[in-house]
Amino acid sequence: MSDEGRRLDPEDWNTFRRDFHELLDTCIDRMQAARDLPWQPKPADMADKVAIGQSGNDSKDVFVRVVNDIMPYATGNTHPRFFGWVHGAGLPVSVAAEMVAATMNSNLGGRDHGAVEVERAVINWLCKLSGLPETAFGILTSGTSQATIIALSAARVRLFGDVRKTGIGNLPAMRVYIAEGGHSCVAKALEVMGHGSDAVVTIALNDQGQMDLNSLADSVAHDQARGIVPLAVVGTAGSVNTGIYDPLNALADFCTDNNLWLHCDAAFGFWSVLADKPWGDLANGIHRADSIATDFHKWLGVPYDCGACLIADRDLHRDTFASRPEYLVGQADGLAGGELWFCDYGIELSRGFKALKVWTAIEALGTDAIGAAITDNCKQAALMGQLAEQSSVLALVQPVVSNLCCFTINHGLPADIAARLQLSGEAVFSTTTLAGRPCMRAAIVNHRTTSDDIHIAMAAVEREVLNSR
Ligand SMILES: Cc1ncc(COP(=O)(O)O)c(C=O)c1O
DSSP states along 418-464:
HHHHHHHTS-B-EEEEETTEEEEEEE---TT--HHHHHHHHHHHHHH
Closest CA to 144 of 262, 263, 260: 263
Distance 237 CA to ligand 1 centre (A): 11
* Beta carbons within 8 Å of 9's beta carbon, 6+ residues apart: none
Q: Distances in Å between the alpha carbon of 202 and those of 176, 182, 199?
A: 9, 8, 10
| Whether residue 295 has its Cβ less than 6 Å from ligand 1 | yes
300 CA to centre of ligand 1 in angstroms: 13
Alpha helices in 193-313 (DSSP H): 213-225, 248-258
Closest CA to 138 of 324, 350, 293: 293
194 C-alpha to center of ligand 1: Å? 21
Q: Is the CB of 87 under 6 A from ligand 1?
A: no
Check: CB of residue 310 under 8 Å from CB of residue 291. yes
Which stretch of DSSP H or E encloses residue 437? strand 437-443
Residues in the chain: 469
Please tell me if the CB atom of residue 88 comes closer than 6 angstroms to any atom of ligand 1: no
- CA 116/CA 311 separation, integer angstroms: 18
CB atoms within 10 A of CB 390: 10
Is any ligand 1 atom within 6 A of the Cβ of residue 155? no
**Does 144 contact ligand 1 (Cβ within 6 A)?**
yes
Q: Which of 75, 83, 186, 240 for mutating ligand 1's site (highest number of atoms within 8 Å of CB)?
A: 240
Enumerate residues 6+ apart whose C-beta is below 8 A from 378: 272, 275, 279, 402, 403, 444
Q: Is 77 in the pocket of ligand 1 (CB under 6 A)?
A: no
Instruction: Point out the ligand 1 atom lying closest to the alpha carbon of residue 147.
Output: 11
**Terminal Cα distance for the chain, rounded:** 75
The continuous run of DSSP H or E covering 292 comes out as strand 291-295
What is the pLDDT, as a whole number, of residue 54?
Answer: 64
- Residue 434: CB atoms within 10 A of its CB come to 17
- Ligand 1 site, residue 270, Cβ cutoff 6 A: no
* Ligand 1 pocket mutation, candidates 185, 188, 239, criterion most atoms within 8 A of CB: 185
Closest residue CA from atom 2 of ligand 1: 267
User: Helices 451-467 and 355-390, interaxial angle, to 10°?
Assistant: 50
Ligand 1 pocket, residue 307 CB under 6 Å: yes
- The predicted structure's pLDDT at residue 162: 81
SS3 at position 200: strand
Q: Which atom of ligand 1 is nearest to the CA of 265?
A: 3
Cα of 364 to ligand 1 centre, how many Å? 26
| Rounded Cα–Cα distance for residues 50 and 323 (Å) | 40
Is any atom of ligand 1 closer than 6 Å to the C-beta of 267? yes
Q: Is residue 299 in contact with ligand 1, taking CB distance under 6 Å?
A: no
Ligand 1: centre distance to CA 184 (Å): 8
pLDDT in tens, the chain (469 residues): 799 999 999 999 999 999 999 999 999 999 999 999 999 999 999 999 999 986 777 899 999 999 999 999 999 999 999 999 999 999 999 999 999 999 999 999 999 999 999 999 999 999 999 999 999 999 999 999 999 999 999 999 999 998 999 999 999 999 999 999 999 999 999 999 999 999 999 999 999 999 999 999 999 999 999 999 999 999 999 999 999 999 999 999 999 999 999 999 999 999 999 999 999 999 999 999 999 999 999 999 999 999 999 999 999 999 999 999 999 999 999 999 999 999 999 999 999 999 999 999 999 999 999 999 999 999 999 999 999 999 999 999 999 999 999 999 999 999 999 999 999 999 999 999 999 999 999 999 999 999 999 999 999 999 999 999 8
**The CA-based dihedral angle spanning residues 178, 181, 182, 187, taken in that order and rounded to the nearest 10 degrees:** 80
Ligand 1: does its nearest atom lie under 6 Å from the Cβ of 185? yes
Nearest alpha-carbon partner for 241 in 365, 366, 370, 397:
397
Of 80, 438, 440, 131, nearest to 264 by C-alpha is: 131
Give the pLDDT confidence score for residue 57 in this predicted structure: 77
Single pTM value for the model: 0.98
Which ligand 1 atom is nearest residue 236's CA? 1
Sign of CA dihedral 243, 249, 254, 259: positive
Identity of residue 97:
A
